[in-house]
Amino acid sequence: MWFTVFLVGMLLFSCVALFVVTSAFLGFLQTRVPFVPTSRKDVEFVVKKLALGPKDVFIDLGSGDGRVCFLVEQACGAQTVGYEMTWWTHLLAKIKARLKHSRSRFYCRNFFHEDWSGANVVYGYLYPPLMRQVEEKFKADCRPGTFAVIRDFPFPSLKPMEVVYRPGGHEIYIYLK
């Protein structure tokens, strides 16, 4: 009996591990950006800095496990949307949203194929090779008055309104369209 329980447990664990490893690998092949989370303090800093509130619409470009959206929603009540292409982090975000009774919406989609014009804040913690395309889309899609908040890897051309140096050697670039 115990041996069967052990075997079933091991089988389940192996399936979950296989799913996580495979989807992380495929996600990385598609996006070339690994999942690395933003710190809670940096998210709280952004909420305070931009004085975000319930009327704001915040998009996380590459939302990972959803933590940025959850923290923003929790801190100020803004509407939050996350786009993520890696299955396991996306699934984790969806499960966490259910458990937390969060209003955050998560989509397993390529954010370059989505319309960003509904947001007044777009956030990205991405990687240098993507930043030109992200900048172009920010300029093309977003309405005047929209902020782009970019962690560590800035847009190649647009001048930031402000650069904030954060503990741990991180930088937050704030752009205003």
Question: Would you count residue 110 as binding ligand SAM (CB under 6 A)?
Answer: yes
Cβ proximity to ligand SAM: between 2 and 165 the closer is 165
* CA 162/CA 29 separation, integer angstroms: 33
Query: Would you count residue 27 as binding ligand SAM (CB under 6 A)?
Result: yes
**Residue 79 binds to ligand SAM (criterion: CB under 6 A):** no
Of 169, 168, 164, which is closest to residue 46 (Cα–Cα)? 164
Instruction: List the structure tokens of 87.
Output: 């299955």
| Interface region with ligand SAM, contact rule CB under 6 A, candidates 14-22, 71-79, 108-116, 156-164 | 108-116
47 binds ligand SAM (CB under 6 A): no
Exactly one of 20, 23, 26, 37 binds ligand SAM (CB under 6 A); that residue is: 37
- Please, are residues 78 and 57 in contact by the beta-carbon 8 Å criterion? yes
Q: Nearest distance from residue 125's CB to ligand SAM, in Å?
A: 4
Strands (E), 19-64: 57-61
Our measurement of the distance from residue 62's CA atom to the centroid of its chain's CA atoms, rounded to an integer in Å, reads 4
- Distance CA(154)–CA(14), nearest Å, equals 39
Query: Which residues of this chain interact with ligand SAM, rule CB under 6 A?
Result: 27, 31, 33, 35-38, 60, 62-64, 67-68, 83-86, 89, 110-112, 125-126
